[in-house]
Amino acid sequence: MTNDPKSININDYSYELPEHRIAKFPLEERDASKLLIYREGEIKERIFRELPDVLPENSLLLFNDTKVIHARLYFELPNDKRLEILCLEPLKPGEYQRNFSSRSTVSWKCLVGNNRRWKSGEITKRIETPQGPTTLTARRLSRLSGAFEVEFSWDNPALAFGELLAAGGIIPLPPYLNRQTEASDEERYQTVYAREKGSVAAPTAGLHFTDRVLRGLDEEGVQRAFVTLHVGAGTFKPVSAEQLADHHMHEESIYLQRSVLEQLRTAVEEKRPVIPVGTTSMRLLESLYWHGCALWRGTEQPHINVQQWMPYEDKPTPSPEEALQAIARQMEEQQIDVLQGYTQLIIAPGYQFRFCKGLITNFHQPKSTLLLLIAALIGEDWKKAYDFALANDFRFLSYGDSSLLIP
């Protein structure tokens, strides 16, 4: 049984982050960023392109191949005011690819900026596409928890909704960058291996990877596996409650190929280090264990559905091998090649890692669930690592520098 993190005071996980230490733009070369290496309490500084040389031998790296979509749409209102709609996740159809390929009405869970300006009825936006101009219509349907259901329709059935987003929306940057999206962000706010459209934020630990670094991993015998977790806006949400028990963790969509499950099973059986690239990959990886745990306990769970506090319950748990075996059996019985679902997992001090033997990640905001995750991995040494980074001119947050953390 793990310790209960609900009594954690978030003020204990804060630090002073000067505004000028937040990287507003990426470096000219992705792999030229600094790399802080924390290994069993010792800290060193390297350059990210040297990562293949410093990883544990026979590692399996787990990458998140999600792709950031043009989720931010601006509509001009009749009173010449502008209204912003940020598409968070699809509702109808609820599956990302079906929604993107739909050529009829869709609905999304959305954040609406300046919502009070949207008095009633429909609002429209003229979009220029390769197939000609199209009018996109938005209709606010209902209020959801902290958001709205917004229905979208358009007057050209030859166009899919994904094409309209690509043509009429823009890449949403994190609010702490405090600047408008620029043309260069189209490329630099995506990983070089981004493939599955669906995120409103990049899995930023992957932004440092280049083809050169990936070739270096191959030369060192480091294996790669790709999973998908679509990053939601909740990843930027600071913990506003004083005690963690009062924080509602955001939910994100995850997808796992059967071939990746087999890669993971082999690595675990062979006792090879499994190291996720980024907190999203780590969250997905550990959520897999808890899905397998539910199956092992005999729970009927056709899809992944990991609740926030599930790891901290006082119940029997299987070995990592047993959890993966339960998932493999489920995929075989259901004859599915892709397992999908949702996770609300919160990883905080007191969490016992089942698969992860390290982490590649950037430097995170004070009082964030991402910082809690770092503290869960390396304990109170998170302060030592962050103090080192601040004292040695590391750049912070999404476009900032990187770290390799091995407890």
Among 1.10.10.10, 2.60.40.10, 3.40.1780.10, 3.30.70.270, name the CATH number for the domain at 5-67+188-406.
Answer: 3.40.1780.10
Q: What mean pLDDT is predicted for residues 68-72?
A: 97
Q: What is the pLDDT of residues 353-380, one digit of tens each?
A: 999 999 999 999 999 999 999 999 999 9
CA 144 – CA 166 distance, rounded (Å): 25
Ramachandran assignment for 393, one of left (phi > 0), alpha (psi -120 to 50 degrees), beta (any other):
left
Residue 141 has pLDDT above 60, yes or no: yes
Residue 238 has pLDDT above 80, yes or no: no
Task: Yes or no: say if 140 and 112 are a contact pair by the CB < 8 Å rule.
Answer: yes
Token pair recorded at residue 378: 């390396």
The pLDDT assigned to 1 comes to 36
Q: Which of 235, 179, 183 is nearest to 205 (CA)?
A: 235
Q: What is the pLDDT of residues 340-356, one digit of tens each?
A: 999 999 999 999 999 99
Q: Which of 275, 268, 286 is nearest to 206 (CA)?
A: 275
User: Taken in order 99, 105, 111, 114, is the CA torsion positive or negative?
Assistant: positive
Phi and psi angles of residue 406, each rounded to the nearest 5 degrees, phi first: -125, 105
Helix, strand, coil percentages for the chain (3-state, nearest 5): 35, 30, 40
Task: Yes or no: say if 292 and 318 are a contact pair by the CB < 8 Å rule.
Answer: yes
Using alpha carbons only, give the angle 75, 116, 246 rounded to the nearest 5 degrees. Answer: 110
Phi and psi angles of residue 113, each rounded to the nearest 5 degrees, phi first: -80, 140
How far lies 219's CA from each of 163, 299, 315, 354, 395, in Å? Answer: 38, 43, 43, 28, 29
- Outline which parts of the chain fall under CATH 3.40.1780.10: 5-67+188-406
